[in-house]
Each structure stands twice: as C-alpha cells, then as structure tokens.
Amino acid sequence: MRGGSIAVVGGSIAGCAAALAASRGGAERITVLERADDRLRDRGVGIALHSDRYDELREAGYVAPEMPWAPLTRRLWSVRDGGAGHGRVVGEQPFPFRAYGWGSLWSELRRRVPEEVVYRSGAVVTGVEPDADGVTLRLADGHEERFDIVIGADGYRSVVRAAMFPGAYAAYAGYIGWRGTSSDVADLPSEGEDAHNIVFPGGHCVIYRIPDGHGGHRLNWVLYTAPPEADGLHPDLRTPTSLPPGRLGSALTERLRALVADNFPPYWASKVLGTPAGTTFIQPVYDLEVPHYASGRMVLVGDAASVTRPHIGGGSVKALQDATALEAAWKAGSGWQEVLERYDAGRGPVGAAMVALARRMGDAQVENTPDWAAMDQAGFDAWWQRQNSGSDRHSGFGGHSIKAG
C-alpha cells in the first residue's frame, strides 16, 4: 500500500512513532500536527520499558541503545516501620526495566522521523470531519486541510477519537498521581538500580532513577492517592486535564506533604519533600476502552486509543507497539480499508486487556489497599498474583509481547 497523504495529529512519542510507521509503510506525504511548541523535549518525567519489550522494539527499529537510559533490576515494596530510615521491605520482585526521561526518549524518536515528514509545532486541530474518501482537519487559525488518512496520536483528550466515537471520554478513576523530579540522587541504595514502591493506606509512591539528558541522573517519583475532597479538584469527565506547577492549590499540596511526612520512611520522605516545587505537578488518573482502533479513514494510536492507568508500566510500550503494528498492517494491506482493518484486529484486543489489567492493579494498589504492615513476602506474592489473574497473552505487567499479538 503505497502513496497517499497522511496527517498525524499529535507529535509526542506516539505521534513520532506513528509518523515513522507511516513513512516505512510507504505513505507519500506525511504531516505531523503538534499543538505544543518545541519545548516537548524539556518534559522531565520518567518512563520505563520492560527489557524484553525494549529488545523487541529495538529489533523493530523504534528504539536504540544510544538513547540515554538507566538500568533497573529489582523492585522493593516498603512500609514505614518505626524509625527505620528506609522502611521495612514487605515484598521484593525482579524488575528488568530500562528507565528513560520522557524528553530524551522523545528527542531520539523525533530525530528518527524522516526529513521529508513535515512536523509543525503549535498546530492546534479543533475539528475533524471525515467522509467516504478522506478527512478534513480544521485548525485553530481557521485553515482547513484534507488528507487521505488521519492518525490520532493526540493523547487522552484526543479530538480524533471524539470524531470517531462521540461521547467516548476518558473516565476519572477517583485518584491522582502527584509527580516530581529532583537532582537528589547521591546516596541512593543499591547504586540506584532498584525501583522503590513506598506503600501506605490508600496508595503508594513509585521512585526510581532516570537519565537527566546530560550524562547524569535525576530522581523520578509519582505518588498515587485520592485527593482531599476540599481541594477543588473535580475533574470534568469530558475535559480531563492535569495541574501543572503553580496550580496545585495550597490544600492539595499540604494534604500530600502531610501524607508523606506521616507515612513515608524518613529517608524517602526527605527525598520527596525536598523536591523543588517547580518540578512537581498533578495528573488525575483516567482510563478508557474504545470499541475500535480504526473507523473509516481514521485510526488511533497510544493514549488516543485505549487509556490505561499507569500501574502496568506499559503506556509508552503500547504506543510504540501500536506504531509497529500499524507499519506491519500498512505493508501487508492492499488498500486503505484492509490496512486499517488489519491494524484494528491486531491492536483492539491488546488495548482492552491492558485497560482491564490496569484497573485491577489500581484497585489493589490504591483504591482497596491491603494491610501493608501485616504483609510478608508470601503474602505479597499472593497479592501480586491476584492482580494478574485473568491476564492472557494480550496483557501483562510491562506490556504484552509483540510476538504474542
């Protein structure tokens, strides 16, 4: 399937990967429309790729060894226990992951997008109008542009998804992720190769080291818990959003700082509470399962399709795997309909299974937490296995295998 004009709405990790897939598939003219300016590379949050998934994606040509990363080998789940500085470990598990900084991974993917692809920053798509032969995009500046195919890579607030499935909005899960990064990595235990989950009633905090993009490292953390009811944070199901630095509100900030001080082991409390305010922000947690990944001349990748809670450690993997599947469908299909049908058939079940697994993990790790203080390794293993019950070849912690799809 060669030729055609393609628009990719969204130019972050999913969008760059989708543009690369379309180019490799044989698209003739590709335009990426990214609403943000060129500062995407400055996003400092951490992401992690399971080592097995990395190997598959490297083989497929979507990641490379030169992308800055930090090794993770083990994950420790720890509870506050008296005055013990690092807390008491209640569960330990292998954790073969590679940690990345979002901005550096995006920068490397952006460099892989062929020069002939037109990448336009600050291009805000406000309307998507499909018909039998293509899709017209309406931009905020009043211009309209028509394409043979539109790929929605525009995240969990996708305007492309809204055109495909009106009323399909990401649903608020009832809790938030409070995120931050700092340069305080000098005395990390195990030379920084462990990921740490600090657990408490009603949530947990994930902490691990990521590259800083300049040859060093930063400490990345995200704390999941329900917000206080009086904080003014009432996400509208139709307009999910995040709260950047400077907009957290004193009630929310004080509630979370008190939670850390009261529930974290002293060592980890100092790490989180010492994080500069300018690097902390809030992401309410959402999820969504769509009926199809393709409709007419439109197709979805990444969070524009299924939105999974972050507990499965597979969000970025899923976006990159969506791109590899789209490339394969493009090369195998003989026309637009066959290309998109092949892609939908391959990725729809994967997205649904990942959403289901992430919901189970969110329930176990945030919404209905166990008695952490009474847990030992055997109890932890049983608790972990219950979350994964029902997982199949389409899903699993760290993302499913491309070869199993």
Q: Give 236-252 pLDDT, tens digit per residue.
A: 544 556 666 656 667 77
**CA 113 – CA 100 distance, rounded (Å):** 19
Cα→Cα distances 238→6, 62, 134, 153, 224, Å = 28, 33, 27, 18, 22
Low-confidence residues in the chain, pLDDT < 50:
235, 237-238, 394
Q: What is the pTM of this model?
A: 0.92
Pairing of strands 88-101, 46-50: antiparallel
The predicted pLDDT at position 237 comes to 41
Please, are residues 340 and 301 in contact by the beta-carbon 8 Å criterion?
no
The predicted pLDDT at position 392 comes to 54
Where does residue 5 rank: exposed (0-12), middle (13-18), buried (19+ CB within 10 A)? middle
Q: Quote the percentage of the chain above a pLDDT of 70.
A: 90
Alpha helix segments (H runs only) across 46-176: 51-60, 102-112, 159-164
The predicted pLDDT at position 238 comes to 45
The predicted pLDDT at position 38 comes to 63
The predicted pLDDT at position 240 comes to 56
The predicted pLDDT at position 214 comes to 85
CB atoms within 10 A of CB 85: 11
Please, are residues 26 and 331 in contact by the beta-carbon 8 Å criterion?
yes
